[in-house]
Structure 1
Amino acid sequence: MSVKALMIRLSAALLLGVGGAQAVTLAGYAELPADTFAPGPASGAWRDGLRGQARFQGQPVQGFSGVQFAPDGTYLFLSDNGYGAKNNSADYLLRLYRLTLTPKTAPTGTGKVEVGAFIQLRDPERRVPWAIVNEASPERLLTGADFDPEGFVVAPDGTLWVGDEFGPYLLHFSADGVLLDAPMPTPNLPGLPTLTGRPPLVIAHRGSSGTRPEHTLEAYRVAIEAGADFIEPDLVVTKDGVLVARHEPVMAVLDGSGKVTEATTDVATRPEFAGRVKTKNLDGQDVTGYWIEDFTLAELKTLRAVERLPALRGRTFDGQFEVPTLSEIIALIRDTETRTGRRVGIYPETKHPTFMTAQAGVNTSQLVIDTLKKEGFTDPARVFIQSFETGNLRDLHATIMPAAGVKLPLVQLLGGQTGAPYDLTARKDPRRNTDLTTPEGLRDIATYASGIGPSKGWIIDGKGQTTDFVTRAHAAGLLVHPYTFRNEPTFLPAQYANNPEAEMRQAILAGVDGLFTDFPATGAKVVAEYAAPEVRSPQHPAFTQGASSGAATLGSSGGFEGLTLSPDGKTLHALLEKTVAGDAPGQLRLHAIDLATRRWTLTGRYPLDAPGNAIGDITPVNASELIVIERDGGSGDAARTKRLYRLSLTDRNADGTLKKTLLADLLNIADPQGLAPSTTGGVFRFPYVTIENVIVLDATTVLVANDNNYPGTGGRGAAVKDTNEFIWLKLDAPLTLAPGVGRR
């Protein structure tokens, strides 16, 4: 190698600027002119969904989005969906083209691309269950308005598997292009680390208390309509022994001057009850106000609910709603179920059991079970009973429920990390909440409870970092239902930038099994992202043909940009181009599909360098490694990220994503021979917005090609139509190839 060539290589290596990256050299170059056409009907008549005059007398060959070897030394290239969008491509026919590639390998050489026969993708056997463009024709040729093919493989049996972005779907074709099976939808495989593997429950904290006065039938009704799985009544007892829903036994708190500092009813405005003010010791604190246990149910029914946080939530609904009983809440649930078919559960909290026993002479735990049994609402799938104290839950588990012939799941609530359950404090037990959350403490809770309900600070710390609390609780067999998620900026830590959904998603990805929220509509929206049975893009036919009112869970055309086959020919690897709603930004799901069983699993998540990037293609290296193209949305001088990464299927980063290593920077390729016409100063750049083809030729050589988005421009100049460029890249260090990988 000459000194000049060596210096160019060293310069390219330094410019890469990423540890472990290889300096790659352009070993071959060829290009296909932009205006290259194949036989077929005139095309290009559609623009923005409107049909005009055809722009092209034939079918453009280009727009390649996948490459595989053909057995005779040629290559098969998959055409993209056409003219850049579903509504522009109804006359673009989906094909695989056979290309013969001859690279330019010396300054005096010539690169050549010859277009041979093509395979037309079609559905004559009517496997597609919705209307396609050529619905009525016998051949039913598939077009870019039907599917957006972005990757393909040739299976060991000779059939073709194609990855689509519109569904996203997997499509299975015969070797000559006939669709063999109905399009396979993409299952939603969130891989959530919940105890059961199911999406978390949405628990309406005091009803939809962010939008209606808390603990009213209206707050519960709105919560049910918003999609809550459970509604939560805090239960206290009246003077005549009836359970009613209030957050505290005191319904209006007064300061030393007699001013109301917090209230959930209008009792302080009722002169007939002025003499009911009392000071009582509530869990070690003297509190002055109006107490539920000093009022009969009939007296309470004359009062009306008011907003507890009026400065934040207003007073629009003050004075409209009664204080409901537990029986009335159950009646509301049953009425809603009769009218709508929605089966929701109830999640009562026995408030201050020690206080209630001392002040009202009532065992509220017993009263809860008696009421639930009387109302016939004892299905363990629809009831959780919770408490901040421990003794009453132990009594429920050991004595009260067995005597009643009832077995319901119990949840130990957990306050802040400096606190302790009051019943322990009252009997001089020194244990604190931190003692209850040791491995031994959690195992002890699991002897009487099914779950634990911690304040959310146990799950996500003050720095916004996810803790190991959920993992430890799950290890003890406990469900985790943290509280309380609210939409208002007042309650949101700064790192969420006023986005309550982001906070919920972080908790869900931590593995929580349910979450308490004042805004169940928001909770239901976020959880639905994980509960949807399929991943769907906005171009999914369920949306475009009006068959579904659901929401897309994937960005526009964010489907299977990457599709490849394992070296043993048994497993498809399918990588989405965009992040599924609910997943961490910039993480892409990589699926494995067993060809024999058609079973899907989630291999892991690919971490993009930046959330706005996308992937372009994947190809195997060996059983545990793939090569991935990652690219930004820039082209020409604006291009910043066009890279090849080697992706491990077994090694993971600290955040659980799959580990990747930079293999080549496509904006910094050494070209000491000047093989490419655009090379400047010995450095070749590949600055196309879409680079969607990569395949391993041998241990030190890979072939890369772009999708030119015909008749797109910008890669080599604002007014220059993009060609398809084919580049052969020589790696400085060999890949560890599995048998069968590379040109055979």
Structure 2
Amino acid sequence: MRKVLIGVTALLSLASSAPAATLVGYAQLPADTFAAGPASGAYSGAGLRGQPRFSSQPVQGFSGVQFGKDGSYLFLSDNGFGSKADSADYLLRLYTLNLSARTAPSGEGKVGVGAFVQLRDPDRKVPWLIVNEASSERLLTGADFDVEGFAVAPDGTLWVGDEFGPYLLHFSADGRLLDAPIATPNLAGLPTLRGQAPIVIGHRGSSGTRPEHTLEAYRVAIEAGADFVEPDLVVTKDGVLIARHEPVIAVVDAAGKVLEATADVATRPEFASRLTTKKVDGVEVRGYFAEDFTLAELKTLKAVERLPALRGRAYDGQFQIPTLAEVIALVRDVEAKTGRKIGIYPETKHPTYFQQMGVNTSQLLIDTLKKEGFTDPARVFIQSFETANLKALKTDIMPKAGLNLPLVQLVSSPDEAPYDWAAGGDTRKYDVLATDAGLKEIATYASGVGAYKRWIITDKGQTTDFVTRAHAAGLLVHPWTFRNEATYLLPGYAGDPEAEMRQALRAGVDGFFTDFPATGARVVGQYTAPEVRSPQNPAYALGTSSAAANVGGSGGFEGVTLSPDGKTLYALLEKTVTGDLPGQLRLHAYDLAGKGWSLAGRYALDDAANAIGDLTPVNAGQYLVLERDNASGAAAKAKRVYLVSLNEKNADGTLKKTLVADLMNVKDPQGLAPSTQGGVFKFPYVTIENVLVLDANTLLVANDNNYPGTGGRGADVKDATEFLWLRLDTPLTLAPGVGRK
């Protein structure tokens, strides 16, 4: 965290000391500028219709600019009056503006509004209901799309970025929608071993919400979205594998107090004689042990919550102790009813302990899986904290059974050791397995490593290189255990369990164990959802919960532009996709010929609360980005133009950017703008959404006034649209064709 703060401070210091651009031209379009069209402004923010406030269509505000014909400019009107709900009568258009800059104190800046292109869908390309559904022309409105940026392709067609979907929209030169809206793929790019989606493993089932290792816990985990459920396995007196975390099902102290229990055995007087003391992995434990009970006896017991002080006792006494065969039957039943294939992730508990009793739990597990016909390698992982049993499974037990199931070596904290090592006099600890050599050794018999999560995220919240090293050895990484309760979270997560899961996913884990699979599935789903969707996506209006949205409201394509060669469309999201690092925005590339998407990079905001306003090319590898805070008037501090390199990256992998112009500190020595004070012009509007390169030394910049918003130039003053011609202190290196031809 300290490094991040230092970086931001340095960046802000650089921004404040950077040379300001110089205002060499100025013009203004009054806020109350209207064009022909139907009355508008009849809807409130709640979507209720009243009387129109305006007799025609407001020209403003503007959210994108390109060169027009004969020296004119094309400006894109955005979604209207500020929200989807109040913009159903605001028509989406491209306006032709003729701009004449004031370049001397005695001069006059002029803005002439010419013809417009009305965006429409007469061919019914939009597959959902739009506002003007029944009309022949189907004129598009601000309640249908939030259009924010656009580009003119070499063939003259228009490509427009939308924020509601977000979508790319393809129009003819005269505004006719040519294709169905193009959804945005979710290019999360998680660094898993094979690029596969991470799996969610229900740790002992949904043990955060139901008593662990019960059929109900497993059922709830599956319904919550778990890909695998984990039955820890111990053995009954009559040789049946059951699901319990430990062979001891109730721990009792010398005074008879129950210290921990997963079954109500201590309350059952008929079993009082079974209370005993045993050594489990070298540690004396007093209690009731599963291996001292037949399955029939255990079936008379009821499960209880192991952590009642944390998770309560609402479900105590309701569920039985299940066998492995019953867990498999549950999984099969789910598959039969839903078609969804769920895996099991069994752990043979304390194999050396049971081996000393003459029970080979590994052999018993393979025998049970064979008997139940559950042997698909894609649906079974076998895990253990010991090593010898996994090696025996790999080299002897599974080959004899004709099976080759993936094995996972569990790795606990560095102060602990595999008990088979300790029992044999080996003094090494788990940290040996976490070395490069140890990971390579694991890879000779196992497919993955189930690591204690502190190997991946330290107790200081720092991501290590463990996953990268394990992947280099060819191993999957499935860390444990992720829980929702604040008591299990590092302070830096501020009580947010999803933040911890996201950090692990960004580190590249291939899955994780969690007591709360509903939370895990939601987080993984944000990365693996096929599309990026905002809460305004039409899918949610059709009945899908907007809770599945993975980018903030109207957080879609704010910046859209074309590469200088006219082959690639670049589209920059305004807000961070859920799961990405705060303040990092995805820059998408869309191949106009191949119709394929790719991720061109990630743009890092100066502050995660900032937003971007526009995107325009300089050359094949460099683009200008407008970045702004969300304040206006005196509170506005950050309105900037950055030069971004697609070919240079910072240490964190984000695109390198260089400040070009601070719009809150523009030199105006001639006093061209009426608001200039002391030779300094400020551009204090909330949104700065238009930038265009005129030549190597000059930019055109304009704001979106969020009509009929106020606050930029005074609390009661409607925001006008101000057009700035800015001379840069350092010329840009332009590609041929960039700038006014």
TM-score range relative to shorter protein: over 0.9
Which residue matches 1:9?
none
Q: Does 1:285 align with 2:283?
A: yes
* Aligned mate of 2:60, from 47, 59, 62: 62
Please show how residues 326-345 of structure 1 align to structure 2 within 5 Å. 326-345=324-343
**Corresponding letter in the other structure for 1:444:** E
Which residue matches 1:313?
311
**Corresponding letter in the other structure for 1:590:** L
Which residue matches 1:699?
696
Q: Does 1:26 align with 2:23?
A: yes
Residues of 2 paired with 1:472 and 1:380: CA distance? Answer: 24
Structure 1 contact 234–349 (Cα < 8 Å) conserved: yes
**Corresponding letter in the other structure for 1:554:** V
Structure 1 contact 22–662 (Cα < 8 Å) conserved: no
Residues of 1 paired with 2:83 and 2:395: CA distance? Answer: 64
Which residue matches 2:398?
401
Which residue matches 1:617?
614
Which residue matches 1:608?
605
Check 1:716–1:336 CA distance in 2 against 1; reply closer, same or farther (3 A cut): same
Which residue matches 1:153?
151
Deviation at 1:52, TM superposition (A): 2.2
Deviation at 1:278, TM superposition (A): 2.6
User: Secondary structure at 1:441's aligned position in 2?
Assistant: helix
User: Secondary structure at 1:124's aligned position in 2?
Assistant: coil
Which residue matches 2:374?
377
Which residue matches 2:4?
none
| 83-92 vs 692-701, which moves further | 83-92
| 527-536 vs 191-200, which moves further | 191-200
* Aligned mate of 1:489, from 486, 491, 494: 486
* Aligned mate of 2:454, from 454, 457, 464: 457
Structure 2 contact 551–576 (Cα < 8 Å) conserved: yes
Structure 1 contact 21–661 (Cα < 8 Å) conserved: no
Q: Does 1:421 align with 2:418?
A: yes
Which residue matches 2:519?
522
Q: Does 1:98 align with 2:96?
A: yes
Structure 2 contact 535–547 (Cα < 8 Å) conserved: no
* Aligned mate of 2:430, from 430, 433, 456: 433
**Corresponding letter in the other structure for 2:227:** D
Length-normalised TM-score, structure 1: 0.96
Q: What whole-Å deviation, never above 9, does each CA across 1:418-464 have from its counterpart, x for those lacking one?
A: 22211122223344322212222212211211111101101100110
Residues of 2 paired with 1:416 and 1:339: CA distance? Answer: 41
Deviation at 1:731, TM superposition (A): 1.1
Structure 2 contact 563–569 (Cα < 8 Å) conserved: yes
Residues of 1 paired with 2:120 and 2:729: CA distance? Answer: 43
Deviation at 1:17, TM superposition (A): 5.0
| 249-258 vs 370-379, which moves further | 249-258
Q: Does 1:230 align with 2:196?
A: no
Deviation at 1:335, TM superposition (A): 1.8
Residues of 1 paired with 2:168 and 2:556: CA distance? Answer: 10
Q: What whole-Å deviation, never above 9, does each CA across 1:185-219 have from its counterpart, x for those lacking one?
A: 01111111111323311111001111111111111
User: Secondary structure at 2:644's aligned position in 1?
Assistant: strand
Which residue matches 2:678?
681
* Aligned mate of 1:599, from 596, 599, 610: 596
Check 1:87–1:417 CA distance in 2 against 1; reply closer, same or farther (3 A cut): same
Which residue matches 1:45?
42
Structure 2 contact 535–546 (Cα < 8 Å) conserved: no
Please show how residues 52-451 of structure 1 align to structure 2 within 5 Å. 52-359=50-357, 361-451=358-448
Deviation at 1:286, TM superposition (A): 2.0
Deviation at 1:702, TM superposition (A): 1.0
Structure 1 contact 647–660 (Cα < 8 Å) conserved: yes
Residues of 2 paired with 1:687 and 1:659: CA distance? Answer: 26
Residues of 2 paired with 1:17 and 1:671: CA distance? Answer: 21
User: Secondary structure at 1:140's aligned position in 2?
Assistant: coil
Check 1:155–1:113 CA distance in 2 against 1; reply closer, same or farther (3 A cut): same
Identity of aligned residues (%): 74
**Corresponding letter in the other structure for 2:118:** Q
* Aligned mate of 2:720, from 723, 726, 731: 723
Structure 1 contact 15–668 (Cα < 8 Å) conserved: no
Structure 2 contact 413–431 (Cα < 8 Å) conserved: no
Which stretches in structure 2 are left out of the alignment for 5+ residues?
Answer: 1-10
Q: What whole-Å deviation, never above 9, does each CA across 1:651-687 have from its counterpart, x for those lacking one?
A: 2233322222222211111111100000011110000
Structure 1 contact 90–145 (Cα < 8 Å) conserved: yes
| 266-275 vs 594-603, which moves further | 266-275
Residues of 1 paired with 2:669 and 2:725: CA distance? Answer: 14
Residues of 2 paired with 1:52 and 1:318: CA distance? Answer: 56
Q: What whole-Å deviation, never above 9, does each CA across 1:489-511 have from its counterpart, x for those lacking one?
A: 11111111111111111111111
Length-normalised TM-score, structure 2: 0.96
Which residue matches 1:710?
707
User: Secondary structure at 1:424's aligned position in 2?
Assistant: helix
Residues of 2 paired with 1:589 and 1:659: CA distance? Answer: 14
Deviation at 1:16, TM superposition (A): 7.3
Residues of 2 paired with 1:321 and 1:50: CA distance? Answer: 51
Deviation at 1:25, TM superposition (A): 1.0
Residues of 2 paired with 1:544 and 1:490: CA distance? Answer: 38
User: Secondary structure at 2:184's aligned position in 1?
Assistant: strand
Deviation at 1:357, TM superposition (A): 0.5
Residues of 2 paired with 1:349 and 1:656: CA distance? Answer: 38
Check 1:590–1:365 CA distance in 2 against 1; reply closer, same or farther (3 A cut): same
Deviation at 1:294, TM superposition (A): 1.5
**Corresponding letter in the other structure for 1:235:** L
Residues of 1 paired with 2:361 and 2:542: CA distance? Answer: 55
Deviation at 1:549, TM superposition (A): 6.8
* Aligned mate of 1:563, from 529, 535, 560: 560
| 70-79 vs 48-57, which moves further | 48-57
Count of paired positions:
730
Which stretches in structure 1 are left out of the alignment for 5+ residues?
Answer: 1-13
**Corresponding letter in the other structure for 1:396:** L
User: Secondary structure at 1:187's aligned position in 2?
Assistant: coil
Check 1:20–1:571 CA distance in 2 against 1; reply closer, same or farther (3 A cut): farther
Q: Does 1:634 align with 2:631?
A: yes
Structure 2 contact 15–662 (Cα < 8 Å) conserved: no
Deviation at 1:546, TM superposition (A): 3.2
User: Secondary structure at 1:336's aligned position in 2?
Assistant: helix
Which residue matches 2:647?
650
User: Secondary structure at 1:444's aligned position in 2?
Assistant: helix
Deviation at 1:327, TM superposition (A): 0.5
Q: What whole-Å deviation, never above 9, does each CA across 1:219-256 have from its counterpart, x for those lacking one?
A: 11111111111110000111111000110111122334
Residues of 1 paired with 2:516 and 2:455: CA distance? Answer: 21
Residues of 2 paired with 1:501 and 1:737: CA distance? Answer: 44
Deviation at 1:45, TM superposition (A): 2.0
**Corresponding letter in the other structure for 2:450:** G
Check 1:212–1:547 CA distance in 2 against 1; reply closer, same or farther (3 A cut): closer
Residues of 2 paired with 1:234 and 1:545: CA distance? Answer: 42
* Aligned mate of 2:582, from 581, 585, 596: 585
Residues of 1 paired with 2:216 and 2:127: CA distance? Answer: 43
Residues of 1 paired with 2:208 and 2:683: CA distance? Answer: 53
Residues of 2 paired with 1:183 and 1:476: CA distance? Answer: 43
User: Secondary structure at 1:50's aligned position in 2?
Assistant: coil
* Aligned mate of 1:665, from 650, 662, 667: 662
Structure 1 contact 87–145 (Cα < 8 Å) conserved: yes
Which residue matches 1:506?
503
Residues of 2 paired with 1:391 and 1:300: CA distance? Answer: 30
**Corresponding letter in the other structure for 2:273:** G
User: Secondary structure at 2:201's aligned position in 1?
Assistant: strand
User: Secondary structure at 2:179's aligned position in 1?
Assistant: coil
User: Secondary structure at 2:356's aligned position in 1?
Assistant: helix
Structure 1 contact 64–80 (Cα < 8 Å) conserved: yes
Deviation at 1:719, TM superposition (A): 1.1
RMSD: 1.7
